[in-house]
Amino acid sequence: MSIEQRPTVRHPQILARGPWDLGQVTARWLEEHFNPPPSHTLAADEAITALRERGSPSHDGLAGRLVDFSQDTGGLALELQPLRWALRLVAGDASGSIAALCVTRSADGRWLAGRRAPWLSSWAGRWALGAGGAVDLGENPAQTLVRELEEEWSASPERVTGEALVELPHGLVMFVGQAWLAPGAEVTPDEEHDAYDWWPADIDRWPAEAEGPLRGMAQWLSQ
């Protein structure tokens, strides 16, 4: 079912569930760019201006939105469309913008957590799992998982799986993956993080800064 045909969701909703090997995830990009309503264009302009006024180096450009998807025994097929990156910042309606989240584990099962810098556009100043970001123009979201991990943590995974396609209440779609690092692998955070830690493999032993949604996602991925 296409994104346009889906009813508005009030809670995160799983659109498709893996796991998939990265080679089982395909992406086809449409040539036609998404044309938002004028009100969304204005709201995106205002959101970018607000980011820059608080010192963010975030820049506008082109990213992807989910138009349609299908799942069968062969894997997950995605149909994507170019759209303006800043549309994901529009309150209440991210226009189906798609991002990838690479939840990252050590070889012994610990969870990589980073506190996001205060200038970021999402989850600023809060702890998050692994690495994540927008799907670049022409990119397969499966590739985004690996790219974001390398960019944010200077790490290459030993193995990666695609776990789910999830729609958030404000219309942002997340392609969630899980990566495991090789034994002894080290990470180096980029400027998007001002602190990081390895949280225990046992989620019940996580520190107080681990918010409920993070615990819920980790429990879900552990099932």
Question: Helix and strand tally (H, E) in the chain?
Answer: 3, 11
Find out whether 99 and 173 touch, Cβ atoms under 8 Å: yes
Q: What CA dihedral angle connects 12, 18, 24 and 29, to 10 degrees?
A: -10
Closest C-alpha among 77, 61, 87 to residue 18: 77
Residue found by looking up tokens 């999402």 in the block: 122
Q: Looking at the 3D structure of the chain, how many domains does it have?
A: 1
Q: Can you give the CATH number for the domain in which 46 is found?
A: 3.90.79.10
- The mean predicted confidence, pLDDT, of the chain is 93
Q: Tens digits of per-residue pLDDT, 64-109?
A: 999 999 999 999 999 999 999 999 999 999 999 999 999 999 999 9
Q: Quick count: other Cβ atoms within 10 Å of Cβ 125?
A: 11
pTM value is 0.92
Tell me the residue range of the domain where 130 lies.
Answer: 3-222
Task: Say whether pLDDT at 6 is over 60.
Answer: no
